[in-house]
Amino acid sequence: MKTVTLSHLNAFKRASEPFSCLTAYDASFAQHAGAAGIDVLLVGDSLGMVLQGHASTLPVTLDDILYHTRCVARGKQRSLLMVDLPFMSNADTRQVLHDAGALMRAGAELVKIEGAGWMHDDVRALTQRGVPVCAHLGLTPQSVHQFGGYKVQGREQDDAQRIVDDARLLVDAGASVILLECVPAALGRAVRDAVEVPVIGIGAGPDVDGQILVMHDILGVTHGRPPRFAKNFLAGRDSIQAAFAAYHDAVKTRQFPAEEHCF
């Protein structure tokens, strides 16, 4: 396959073929991930924790994200490049448009934004201006203090229904992709069925359209206790690229995530 595009992700969904996503922060790892077959790379604000040593993603700036986006864009091969808008980029529509424009000029091909249904006007404003949007729902790490920690979202029926409704609303506003983080597997399945666009999960069960993990988690270099939804794919393998390929294959064959990785 040539360079992965949104059209490919939509085709994967129609064919019920899972696709693989992974964070990347520099040219070398992006190149190895692409060579291993990874479909989507994310320059995530997770860099604040795994690269900068912060306790959350909140200190990450637009300049930080831009720097790493340019690095990954230079190194990536076939993978679609998704990039996070950092904390408070969604302060208002003018800020969203400014920051998303900067990311696209740096090499982003899909811009990810955290929030909920209230972001529909900003999502519409972005898509009207040619910026493809991934709407991040469920556990949104930029709201960690509001949530009172990194907790599974959507366990209660009302909360689950709200997430489904938010996904529909944001897709109606133009979102090209939904990303769900830390939700029960049944909710991941419900959102997948509720929208026509691809749904990517991290800790969202096996039935979503794509899976994403933080690169450091699959290489076993997580600081502290790894999250339940992660797996060390480097264990028993002799190279980073082999770990990336094993992760990609496990996603494609639906061997990952397994029951022990789900909520």
List residues with catalytic annotation: 181
The partner residues of 212 in beta bridges, in order of sequence, read 21
In the DSSP assignment, the letter for residue 226 is: P
Nearest Cα to Cα of residue 202 among 6, 16, 23, 45: 23
Nearest Cα to Cα of residue 6 among 80, 77, 76: 80
Across 187-201, b (16+ Cβ under 10 Å) vs e yields bbbbbbeebebbbbb
Across 154-163, b (16+ Cβ under 10 Å) vs e yields beeeeebebb
